[in-house]
Amino acid sequence: ELQDLPREVFAADPTSTCQTPDTEVLYRCRKCRRALFRSSSILSHMEGSGPAAFAHKRITGSAQLRGGGREMCTSYFTEPVQWMEPALLGVLEGQLLCPKCTSKLGSFSWRGEQCSCGRWVTPAFQIHKSRVDEVRTLPVGNIQAAKT
């Protein structure tokens, strides 16, 4: 059992650092607006085989045809962020809750989880896209007046 993880494992908590660079997207809890992670913390993965990856569970051949081809990922897989540390210590899997309002954001598993696209991601710190909002910073110097 892990009772203590090295600090280097965790990405910086966006609330503990002063400024987000203009090129980075900040992700906030949709319910309470607390900053959760930055785009630099998102781990990319190759897209899986879509509905075919779940055929053993629930999807039949006719349902696959209605899927519309490419399946998009419905979650972000991130590196662990500092606010996740209390939930991660001593357990292999569990829920990820917002540190401010405790609404469910996603789940984690050190063994890995399957993405909605069918790809297996290990270890998995999965945040559902429907539970967070993207916050993009607009460059102030490049704003132009709209022409009418």
Q: Average pLDDT of 79-98?
A: 91
Q: Average pLDDT of 65-93?
A: 80
Q: Average pLDDT of 26-44?
A: 94
Residue 124, phi then psi, degrees to nearest 5: -115, 125
Write down the pLDDT at residue 62.
Answer: 45
**What 3-state class would DSSP assign to 84?**
helix
Write down the pLDDT at residue 124.
Answer: 94
Residue 6, phi then psi, degrees to nearest 5: -65, 145
Write down the pLDDT at residue 48.
Answer: 72
Q: In the predicted model, is pLDDT for residue 89 greater than 70?
A: yes
Write down the pLDDT at residue 104.
Answer: 97
Write down the pLDDT at residue 15.
Answer: 74
What is the number of other CB atoms lying within 10 angstroms of the CB of residue 121? 21
- Between 48 and 97, residue with greater pLDDT: 97
Q: Would you call 19 exposed, middle or buried from its count of C-beta atoms within 10 A (0-12, 13-18, 19+)?
A: exposed
Q: The pTM is what?
A: 0.72
CB–CB of 125/42 below 8 Å? no
Beta-strand pair 132-135/93-97: unpaired
- Between 146 and 36, residue with greater pLDDT: 36
CB–CB of 69/141 below 8 Å? no
Write down the pLDDT at residue 118.
Answer: 86
pLDDT band at 66 (very low <50, low <70, confident <90, very high): very low
CB–CB of 103/124 below 8 Å? no
The mean pLDDT of the chain is: 79
Q: Which domains does the chain have, with CATH numbers?
A: 11-51+72-136 (2.170.150)
